[in-house]
Homo-oligomer: A and B are copies of this chain.
Amino acid sequence: MPTTEITETITDAEWCVMRIVWTLGQADSHTIIDLVSQQHDWKAATIKTLIGRLVKKGALATTKNGRQFIYTPLIPEQTAMDTALSAQLDQMCAMCRGQAFVHAIDQTELSQSDIQELILHLQEKLTTAPTTIACDCLPEGYEGSC
Contacts and interface: CB of A to CB of B under 8 A. Distances in A.
A102 B105 CA distance: 11
Q: How large is the interface on A (under 10, 10 to 19, 20 to 34, 35 or more residues)?
A: 35 or more
A135 B104 CA distance: 19
A57 interface: no
Interface in A94-117: 94, 96-117
28 contacts: A19-B137, A20-B138, A23-B146, A24-B144, A35-B139, A39-B139, A77-B93, A77-B96, A84-B92, A85-B100, A85-B103, A94-B109, A97-B110, A98-B115, A98-B118, A101-B108, A101-B110, A101-B114, A102-B117, A109-B130, A110-B129, A111-B129, A112-B126, A114-B133, A115-B126, A118-B122, A119-B119, A119-B122
Nearest to A12: B91
Chain A binding site: helix, strand, loop or mixed by DSSP? helix
A114 B98 contact: yes
Given A22-B146, A91-B12, A106 B81 contact: no
A109 to B, nearest CB: 6
B106 A115 contact: no
A78 interface: yes
Contacts of A140: 38
A43 to B, nearest CB: 16
